[in-house]
Amino acid sequence: MLLTMNRMYILILILLVGTSIPLITMSEHYAVLLIYALFTLISFVLISKKKLQFEHFIMALLASSAIPHSVTLGGLNVSISDAYIAVMVVLLVIFSKFELSIPKTYFVITITYLAFCALSLAWANDFTNGLARLIQLIEFMLITVYVFYNIRSTKFLKTMMNWYIGLATVLGAIAVGYSLAQHVTGPLYILGFHKNALGSVLGTSIPLIYGLLLLNKDCSKKVKLTYLFCLFITVFGLLMTMSRGAFLGSIAAIIVLLYFTNKTKQILGILGLIAVCFGLYAFILSPSYLESVTRFDEYSSAYSRVIIYDDVTSKIKEHPYIGHGVGNYFISIPQINFSQDDPNNIFLLNLVELGVVGLVFFVLMILYIVGVAFKNKREFKQNHELLTLNAIFIAGFVARFVHIQVDVSWVRGPGLFMFAMVGMLLSLRKIVKNIKQGS
């Protein structure tokens, strides 16, 4: 017999806290591996004895992606969500008895892309730079999609989003409270979060909250007020991060959400509301906001992108067809003490590292994801729940995808969230098929 829901949540939270705190605070990081091995063992025993279901553990996985902090283990950066998903995939393989369920077309396209990434290491200047990136891409594009694809009911999909929204709201409340208490008018950095990482968490939670409001249109007043409170906190927390990419991603996601729920007439109204809220914040609550986000002097982040784009363009011209090899782009701007391995645009990153060939494979993957969303929209038009869930997942994906047109692409946590949306989007068709077979 399963534990009661309250006890189940408490148990999972204890396990997560017990494993997450050491990951962030321990100086001997290899000891974390032992802790996660213990987490896996406890999980295995509880599921084997039918005290818990596999999905009960996976519920907090999406929420774990809201914490991008990482440590270095064996040369690789490992975050809480990385370690958590490693546990989930082990459990999934064990309890599926190797009867693996995968989205075949998506996997064929993605494996082709990843195979080319691996091949590019052959002509890379330093192949060791590409190994960590390759492992990261495999985790996001294959392992994450595989785990989330194997969720067996819409109930667990909705619960996972509630966990993510809950954590995002807590982070948003801290951001709002800190800004008001400290009179912060510049970009917000709290709890070790970079403003863009915090902005990503808050920005991607907004379409999820709005989507769940649409999904639960007949819910109680208390539930609606809870979602509206979460929406209010995350929107103002997002504004205070001053993350322009996250803000643009959130707006794009809301438009996509309304389109895929057949509420196109509301798009102009929502855009108007966003404009009013932004205007109130920028011109009344924080007049310095517009000045900060539109700074274009040589020491600003906006101007740094001009230098980056000039640099990456010249490097693309050197090897336009096959690129410099995955993980082999790097730029340094000494005057602003800046360096990174990403040109702040996912398409430019693919072009400089993998050339036109790699970019084509990547675009095919994106087109397939969008194509499935459109196909789901047509087929689920008579099913409010499935139609809305499909809209939420493609909107969540778009929120992050738009963000990485102007920011670093493959970040721990946000990258996992992005492909979790893909896995859940693809899982809807499998869930429907299983329901039909069961009936």
| Structure confidence by residue, pLDDT tens digits, 85-139 | 888 888 887 877 656 688 999 999 999 999 999 999 999 988 888 898 999 999 9
* 217, HSE (Cβ side, Cα atoms, 13 Å): 7
**Cα distances (Å, whole numbers) of residue 27 to 16, 69, 98, 132:** 19, 14, 37, 22
Reported as type and span, the H/E element at residue 79 is strand 76-79
The closest of 313, 388, 298 to 344, measured between CA atoms, is 313
Contacts of 146 (CB under 8 A, 6+ apart): 89, 92, 100, 102, 423
Please tell me the predicted confidence (pLDDT) of residue 320. 93
| Residues 211/257, Cβ–Cβ less than 8 Å | yes
Q: For every one of its 439 residues, what pLDDT tens digit does the chain have, with 9 covering 90 and above?
A: 344 555 555 556 655 655 555 555 554 555 666 666 777 777 777 777 777 777 777 888 898 898 887 776 666 677 888 888 888 888 887 877 656 688 999 999 999 999 999 999 999 988 888 898 999 999 999 999 999 998 888 999 999 999 999 999 999 998 888 877 877 666 667 777 888 888 999 999 999 999 999 999 888 889 999 999 999 999 988 888 888 889 999 999 999 999 999 998 888 887 787 777 667 666 665 566 555 555 555 555 566 777 888 889 999 999 999 999 999 998 877 766 677 888 999 999 999 999 999 999 999 999 999 999 999 999 999 999 999 999 999 999 999 999 999 898 988 889 999 999 999 999 999 988 877 776 4
The 3-class SS string of 238-266 reads: HHHHCCHHHHHHHHHHHHHHHHHCCCCCH
Reported as type and span, the H/E element at residue 369 is helix 346-379
Q: For 334, which DSSP code?
A: G
Q: Which residues of 258-278 are buried (b: 16+ CB within 10 A; e: fewer)?
A: bbbbeeeebeeebeeeeeeeb
For residue 183, the tally of other CB atoms under 10 A from its CB is 6
Give tens-digit pLDDT for 305-330. 778 888 899 999 999 999 999 999 98
| Residues 137/110, Cβ–Cβ less than 8 Å | no
| Residues 213/164, Cβ–Cβ less than 8 Å | no
